[in-house]
Amino acid sequence: MEVIRAKRAGACYGVQRALDMADEVIADGSRAYTLGPLIHNPQVVADLAARGAEAVDSVEEIRWERAADADAPAEGAATAAGDAPAVVIRSHGVTPQVLAAVEDRGFTVVDATCPHVSRAQHAAAELAAEGCRVIVVGEAGHPEVEGLRAWAEEAGGKVDVVAAPEEIPEGLYDPVGVVAQTTQRRENLEAVVAALREAGLEPIVKNTICSATRQRQEAAADLASAVDAMVVIGGRNSSNTTRLAEVCALTCPRTFHIESTDELDPEAFADCRRVGVTAGASTPENQIAAVEAFLRAL
C-alpha cells in the first residue's frame, strides 16, 4: 500500500512559533501556564503539562504570592512564591481584558498569539474605530472569534458573528466592516460578503484568512481525489483540522479524522492501494510521521 502525504500538511508557522516560545520558557524549569490550550491538539497540550506548562481556564486559577508582598492574588489552582511565573498567551489570542488582567497581576507575559490572528484583531479594532458595524465571519464561541469580537468592542464597535450568509442580522446599514476567523474557508467569506452586497450594503472587507489554511485545504483536496482513503490528523477541537476533513470527504468518502494511531483500524484499509495523509495546522511532525509509519506497516 502506497502512503502519500499532501504537499502542504501539518504545523503552520504560527503554531510552531507558539510551541517554540513555550519550549523556551520551560527549558530551564521555570513555572509556566497557558491560558487555555496553547494550540488545539490534546496530545501536545498533555506533553506541555508534563513538562511544566499547565493549561488553565482563567488568570484567577493561578495563585502566586509575591516574595516581597504578603497580599497574594485570588485563590486558584497553583500556589508559589518568588519569581513571577510566565503566562503564555495561546496561538488563538485572548481578549484585551484578559491580557490586561495578566499584566496587572504581575505575571511574565509571553505572547504567542499567531501573527495572523494579531493582524485580524487589529483589523477588527480599526474597523470598529472607524465607526463600522463589524461582522466577524467565523464560529461563535471559538476562542479566536471571541477575541476578535472583544478587540472590536474594546474599540467601541458593535459586533455580529456569523457562520453563514443566513445568519446576517437584518436592518444593517453602512458602514459595515468584515473580518474573518483566520481558519475560515475563502468561499464562506465571499458568500457572506456577496449577501451583504445583495442587501444593498458596501462592506469594507479585510480578508484575514491565513494562507496556510487555504494551502492545506487545496493540497488535501487534490490528494483526496487520487487515493482510496484519506487520513486527517489533528485535534477534534481544531476548527482548521475539522474543516480539512470536511474538504477531503467531499471527494473521498473514506476519510478518517483521527488524533492518534490508536484510532486507526487496519481492516479499514484492507483493500486500499493508495492512502493519503494530511494534517491540520496544529499537528506537529512527529504525530504525522507516526501515522505514516503505522499505515506503511499494514
| pLDDT tens for each residue of 100-114 | 999 998 898 999 999
Of 206, 186, 35, 217, give the one whose Cα is nearest residue 113: 35
Q: Please tell me whether 12 is known to bind a ligand.
A: yes
Burial label, 123 (beta-carbon count in 10 A; 0-12, 13-18, 19+): buried
Q: Please tell me whether 257 is known to bind a ligand.
A: no
144 in catalytic set: yes
CATH architecture of 13-114: 3-Layer(aba) Sandwich (3.40)
Give residue-wise pLDDT tens across range 134-153: 999 999 999 999 999 999 99
CATH architecture of 116-205: 3-Layer(aba) Sandwich (3.40)
Distance (Å, rounded) from C-alpha 233 to C-alpha 261?
9
Q: Please tell me whether 116 is known to bind a ligand.
A: no
Pairing of strands 229-233, 65-66: unpaired
76-85, 123-132, 214-223: range with lowest mean pLDDT: 76-85
What residue spans define the domains of the chain?
2-10+212-296, 13-114, 116-205
Say whether 2 sits in a helix, a strand or coil: strand
How confident is the model at residue 6, as a pLDDT? 98
Give residue-wise pLDDT tens across range 44-98: 999 999 999 999 999 989 877 555 444 444 444 444 444 788 999 999 999 999 9
Q: Please tell me whether 225 is known to bind a ligand.
A: no
208-235: b (≥16 Cβ within 10 Å) or e: bbbebbebbbebbbebbeebebbbbbbb
CATH architecture of 2-10+212-296: 3-Layer(aba) Sandwich (3.40)
Distance (Å, rounded) from C-alpha 229 to C-alpha 276?
6
Q: Please tell me whether 92 is known to bind a ligand.
A: yes
Task: Give yes or no on whether 2-10+212-296 and 116-205 have one common fold.
Answer: yes
Q: Which of 2, 61, 126, 144 is catalytic?
A: 144
Q: Please tell me whether 239 is known to bind a ligand.
A: yes
User: Model pTM?
Assistant: 0.82
Say whether 134 sits in a helix, a strand or coil: strand
